Amino acid sequence: MANAQSDALVFFGATGDLAYKQIFPALQGLIRDEGFNLPIIGVAKAGWNLDQLKARAKDSLEHHGGIDAAAFEKLIGLLRYVDGDYNDEATFAELRKQLGEARRPLHYLAIPPSLFGTVAENLAKAGAAENARVVVEKPFGRDLKSSQELSATLHQYFPEAEIYRIDHYLGKEPVQNILYTRFANPVFEPIWNREHVRSIQITMAESFGVEDRGKFYDEVGTLLDVVQNHMLQVLANLTMDPPTGEDHDAVRDRKAELMRAVRPLTAYSVVRGQYQGYRSVPGVAPGSNVETFIAVRLHIDSWRWAGVPIYIRAGKMLPVTCTEALVEFKRPPRETFGELVPNTSAHMRMRVSPDIAIALGVRVKIPGERMAGRDVELDLHSQAVEDMPPYERLLGDASRGMNELFSRQDLVEAQWRIVEPILGNVTPVYSYAPGAWGPEEANQLIGNDGPWANPVVQPQGA
């Protein structure tokens, strides 16, 4: 069934928050931009009817992107609804009825992973799993063992090739831009290795706190929320070898190879922090030791990257909201002009958000007779963030059988192996003030490989 177009889209959790914020806008976008013309069947246990789901779709679009009159009318015409318990076979019998002549449905499970097995089994019993694809949301387990168990459950009913593990970060235009910039420009690849790169930093900073996600966040923390998945995916795009061949799995093969080469983290290579005031957030345990900031030092045991330290940090209540990677190059073996030049004067910066930017740090001569210089940054490319929202791209790809931007089980397992040694409270949690760049201990972690390159974000309209 490879690359065959799905002939229906079913989304479980149709009345939930994810559907409200992401799926309805993505579906309208697919209809508007790509002529999406499949039956769309929402499934949930809410006591709703179809008219209520249509009203929810309208409300969703009014608050997330706006209504496109023609596309919305088409969406409403395609929309169907099945209300029922996921444990009730009658729910799935009704779903099979609503699918009509469809024989290659795409099932999107926007539901907790604990329900994946129940839904997959009942889809199979109803005859709705054969020749079907299934899209599942992260987290793909809570550790390596649970990830493998989750995969084994899905494999009872769906082959690996038809399981699409969605990580919306992979669908972001700026994240793909990292890969494209590296391999489409011959000037970069010859210096993209241990001979020329001194260190790599990846920062995901958010200037806001956990807000109304206290209960959820207190169960995952920063490591599982963004580092184990999003940040490691950015690292893979930055450091993987060029894909070979035209197979859709070529990129994922290289990413899996890279992830398997990343040395598992230890307690000595991580600093965790928690912003002051976090424990008073509704839903957070009074004495919580969950981190809202984390910094880690990684090493890739490969010929290309041996000896190059890699630092990732992510956190909330930091000075700015920005995600970017900085590849720092080594200085020449001898400073020709006898200057005391800082190590940080040669770099390539790739920004993922809030805008897309690629910049080079270089030294230029100061006017005058002296052969002395200063550090400047050449802005090679800058544009507003992506045109196509990631969920629109990813759902469109899944419906066409294009799996390149989805995680594969071996890649997921490799990511879990990297972080598993530091799961739980294996290291202290240090307090930091809101608006700081995390706890002071993060500066001790980076040590002589630093300092941290703190992103600078220009105010809007500046």
Active site residues: 230
CA distances from residue 285 to 31, 219, 222, 274 in whole angstroms, order as listed: 44, 10, 16, 13
Specify which residues 165 forms β-bridges with: 136, 407
**Pick from 204, 202, 408, 169: nearest CA to 298:** 202
3-state secondary structure the chain: CCCCCCCEEEEECCCCHHHHHHHHHHHHHHHHHHCCCCCEEEEECCCCCHHHHHHHHHHHHHHCCCCCHHHHHHHHHHEEEEECCCCCHHHHHHHHHHHCCCCCEEEEECCCHHHHHHHHHHHHHCCCCCCCEEEEECCCCCCHHHHHHHHHHHHCCCCHHHEEEECHHHHCHHHHHHHHHHHHCCCCHHHCCCCCEEEEEEEEECCCCCCCCHHHHHHHHHHHHHHHHHHHHHHHHHHCCCCCCCCCCHHHHHHHHHHHHECCCCHHHEEEEEECCHHHCCCCCCCCCCCCEEEEEECECCCCCCCCCEEEEEECCCCCCEEEEEEEECCCCCCCCCCCCCHHHCEEEEEEECEEEEEEEEEEECCCCCCCEEEEEEEEEEEECCCCCHHHHHHHHHHCCCCCCCECHHHHHHHHHHHHHHCCCCCCEEEECCCCCCCCHHHHHHHHHCCCCCCCCCCCCC
> Tokens 């920063």 sit at which residue?
222
| Two structure tokens written together for 236 | 């893979």
- CA separation for the pair 141, 151 (Å, rounded): 9
Answer yes or no: are the C-beta atoms of 221 and 291 closer than 8 Å: yes
CA distances from residue 392 to 13, 22, 26, 203 in whole angstroms, order as listed: 17, 9, 4, 26
| Two structure tokens written together for 444 | 């001790």
